[in-house]
Amino acid sequence: MENQEMNSEEKVTLEPQKRSGFVKGLLTGILATAAVGMVALVIIVSVGGNTLQIGTKADSKDNGSILTADVQKKLNELMGYINLYFYDDIDKDKLAQGMYAGLLEGLDDKYTEYYTPEEFENLQISATQNYCGIGAVLSQDKDSMQVTATHIYEGSPAEDAGLKDGDVIAYVDEIEASSIELTELVTHIRGEEGTTVHLKVYREGESDYVEMDVKRENIDLPTIEHKMLEGNIGYIHIVDFGAPTVEQFEAAVDDLNAQGMKAMILDVRDNPGGMITAVTGILDDILPEGTVVYTQDKYGKRQDYTSDDEKQMDLPIAVLVNGNSASASEILAGAIRDFEYGTLIGTTTYGKGVVQTIITLEDGDAIKLTTAKYFTPNGENIHGTGIDPDIELEYEYTGDADETYDEMHDNQIEKAIEVLNKEITE
């Protein structure tokens, strides 16, 4: 059994472009956290005749397992009816996989999932930021299941086909986007290089669907975008926290420092999170020595993630957040706040204060299991509540909606510049 430390809200991002009013949710997001001790439950599945026999290596008495004699009897009863009356051929392997997935679903935890080998491969692709797809990042509203394009990468097939930030994905080929989980939907968007996927999207201001064919290409996704704003204020947009993020962040800081950066804006709006090693690596570059976040499991076992005193930033910092800033984004915001190292500007964050561990199974399947809570340096668990900004400010784009996005017409960036300029002159 192999543990991969991942923390989930799945993958989504948004360039600080004209943010659509209906960008509410996040993709169930992605990645990183605590290693925990796990106890394997052995389930023997044998298929034969007209029944699916399910048992444990123990006897059939109620020994704490859910596979009691009554449960086994009911499963066999259900299988009998399926064999007798189901109108089509039966794929018993799929039935078994559905049973495994249903077991985890019974935990009533939206972050816990069962993955087939193919689904697990897609999850790993998202973590490494390299895949064959269209170059768009999507989010899914947790209640309505609405899927929104939140970031279109420059020069990508999605941009070439005309997909825009804020477009709501209605159909992927013949699949209604809101009918399935985003993790499954993206498997239909990705595919063999050179093939196309047909999208129907709802675009604000259009009376009917906008349709397009998007060619799949090998995509190497950046996770950091940066530029120098007026007054030598560096702007770094963290798209999500993936494997290359720390290296890209450090390169961006080096470039901005070479240009004479006097203050820095970190933009994690609409960032759903990612690998805990990525966010703690960035915090180590910013903060002085101390614990930047810690996790605790149900047994009280605590794991601290720390920064050292080898490097830290000595300049004013503002962090932009909103309701789609989740998980690792909230770890960053919470640490900056608790260390009193910057000003949070925007709206209350998503509120995901639990962490997941990816466990691979012997047959290549995997599960993502919520294993612990995480806490900010001051000991706050923000699950279900989020982090309130120091300056509450709803997003408004004051420029021409038909023109290219300009940071200087983003009211939250304007406020950050105003705050940072005051600190620079003090």
Question: Which positions are catalytic?
Answer: 327, 338, 352
Residue 12 and residue 373: Cα distance in Å, rounded?
Answer: 22
Characterize 163-179 residue by residue with b for buried, 16 or more Cβ atoms within 10 angstroms of its Cβ, and e for exposed: bbbbbbbbbbeeeebbe
223 closest CA partner among 130, 343, 157, 334: 130
Residue 146 and residue 293: Cα distance in Å, rounded?
Answer: 32
* Phi, psi (rounded to 5 degrees) for 273: 120, -150
Residue 117 and residue 104: Cα distance in Å, rounded?
Answer: 17
Residue 180 and residue 117: Cα distance in Å, rounded?
Answer: 18
Instruction: List Cα–Cα distances, 363 to 37, 316, 366, in angstroms.
Output: 20, 51, 9
Strands 175-176 and 168-172 turn out to be antiparallel
* Phi, psi (rounded to 5 degrees) for 413: -70, -40
